[in-house]
Amino acid sequence: MARIVTILGATGSIGKSTVDLMERDLAREGGPAFKVRAVTAGTKVDELADVARRVKAESAVIRDKSRYGRLKEALDGSGIRVSAGDDAVCEAAAEPADRVLSAIVGAAGVAPTAAAIRAGNDIALANKECLICAGSSFMALAREKGVRILPVDSEHNAIFQLLVDVDPASVDRLVLTASGGPFRAKSADELAKVTVDEALHHPTWSMGPKITVDSATLMNKGLELIEARHLFGFPPEQLGVLIHPQSKVHAFVVFRDGSWHGELGAPDMRRPIDYCLNWPDRAERATSHLDLAEVGTLSFEKPDSERFPALRIAREAMVAGRGAPTVLNAANEIAVAAFLDRRIGFMTIPQLVERVLEEADKAGLLHEPATVEAALVLDGQARDLAAGRLLAA
């Protein structure tokens, strides 16, 4: 029987990669292995309608209610159901599915993903912000509902594969690799002057704007440390980062006996997505191939948290725990949006995040959010602090 998939954030970078896999599946010899239940998007209504038709989805949901009429018109006669609004996105996430691909960007993905978990749907999780914003309560909710969180993020997907049948006590540490982003070799002075266009030009991965900026500041790797902490349960001192500019090795598990196990593949998100959709089986064929002889050299270096303070700030928030990662994530989302709007400079992003963490601490806000909803309340408070900081700047 075909596996049922819902794609949250179907018009984004991860969403489109998933749509590509579903289109290939529709052409599969012997009939499709998947059936798409619902596709959702924020505002891109024409793209959503196009995607819904291409994957033969049962329903399409646009978050922006003002675009409902346009979506209805675009899908007229297709037999695809349409709806709109935040509640409708959550309802689509909660419809029975074998996998809900969580690929909305930012904390906006928390409520729909939590709705999918509450309905008992297994999650293919690309939206790392769910775990930075609401980590402990999010994982507790998944445990309570007996729902699996399958990691799409390439490093975590690699570790997930590497940890199969591994005794955690035999592991010395987990090492996430990072490309280093477009500014790996820039001096502190040069970093202060980089432009939005330069930041959006990632050397190895093609991704949405928010995560591309996060990769340039190295905040992305900091967020991924926190993500790994929640997914795999290892303490901060057993989580490390190595810069690896070629992005061919996605992570290592280092064993106590000194053995390093890595997962390699071309930098193509379709592979980890395919892995999560097919798990516990493996996809029948590859979407891209890695030719190591052609690559020739793989290199590694230590990250520099002086030039890239976001990595240090995120690590400190991970160690502090409780509400700190929630505040870190919210402040970072506001700072990245302000940078993309050309309101602040590149190096102001980590500065703003650090100031907001200090202010939240002074205001007594850094308590552990007991539930996903409490995490979203703290997220809102941190956004207000960050917006206030921006106005003051």
Where in 190-229 is the site for ligand NAD (CB under 6 A)? 205, 207-208, 210-211
Q: Is the dihedral of CA 184, 186, 188, 193 positive or negative?
A: negative
Helices within the chain (DSSP H only): 13-26, 45-54, 68-74, 86-94, 110-118, 129-145, 154-162, 188-191, 196-199, 209-217, 219-232, 270-278, 292-295, 309-320, 324-340, 348-362, 372-392
Our finding on whether 175 is near ligand NAD (CB under 6 A) is no
Only one of the segments 10-18, 131-139, 277-285, 336-344 lies at the binding site for ligand NAD (rule: CB under 6 A); that segment is 10-18
CA-based nearest residue to 175, from 275, 85, 255, 271: 255
Contact partner, 234, from ligand NAD, Mg ion, none, Cβ < 5-8 Å per class = none
**Helices 129-145 and 372-392: angle between axes, nearest 10 degrees:** 170
Residue among 93 and 357 whose Cβ is closer to ligand NAD = 93
171-178 and 249-255: which strand pairing? antiparallel
- Least distance CB 133 / Mg ion (angstroms): 17
Report how far residue 104's alpha carbon sits from residue 78's, in angstroms, rounded to the nearest whole number.
25
Interface residue with ligand NAD among 4, 5, 6, 9 (CB under 6 A) is 9
- Site for Mg ion (CB under 5 A): which residue of 153, 214, 227, 263? 153
* Minimal distance, residue 379 CB to ligand NAD, in Å: 13
Interacting residues with ligand NAD between 36 and 55 (CB under 6 A)? 41-42, 44
Cβ 362 to ligand NAD, closest distance in Å?
29
Residue from 59, 83, 113, 127 in contact with ligand NAD (CB under 6 A): 127
Q: Does 176 bind ligand NAD (CB under 6 A)?
A: no
The rounded radius of gyration (Å) of the Cα atoms in the chain is 20
Q: Which stretch binds Mg ion (CB under 5 A): 145-153, 240-248, 317-325, 357-365?
A: 145-153
Amino acid letter, 249: V
Which is it for the CA torsion 310, 139, 366, 378, positive or negative?
positive
Cα atoms found within 13 Å of the Cα of residue 194, Cβ hemisphere only: 26
Dihedral class, residue 345 (left if φ above 0, else alpha if ψ from -120 to 50, else beta) = beta
Residues 225-284 that bind ligand NAD (CB under 6 A): 269
- H helix runs in 188-308, sequence order: 188-191, 196-199, 209-217, 219-232, 270-278, 292-295
Q: 308 and 354 in contact (C-beta within 8 Å)?
A: no
Q: In the set 153, 227, 263, 333, which binds ligand NAD (CB under 6 A)?
A: 153
**Residue labelled with tokens 């309905």:** 119
Q: If contact means CB under 5 to 8 A according to the sort of partner, which of ligand NAD, Mg ion, none does residue 199 touch? A: none
104, 116, 216, 356: which one contacts ligand NAD (CB under 6 A)?
Answer: 104
Q: Which of 129, 227, 333, 379 binds ligand NAD (CB under 6 A)?
A: 129
Candidates 154-162, 252-260, 340-348, 385-393; binding stretch for Mg ion (CB under 5 A): 154-162
Q: 272 touches which of Mg ion, ligand NAD, none (CB within 5 to 8 A by kind)?
A: none
Binding site for ligand NAD (CB under 6 A): 9-15, 41-42, 44, 63, 89, 103-105, 108, 126-129, 153, 205, 207-208, 210-211, 269
Binding site for Mg ion (CB under 5 A): 153-155
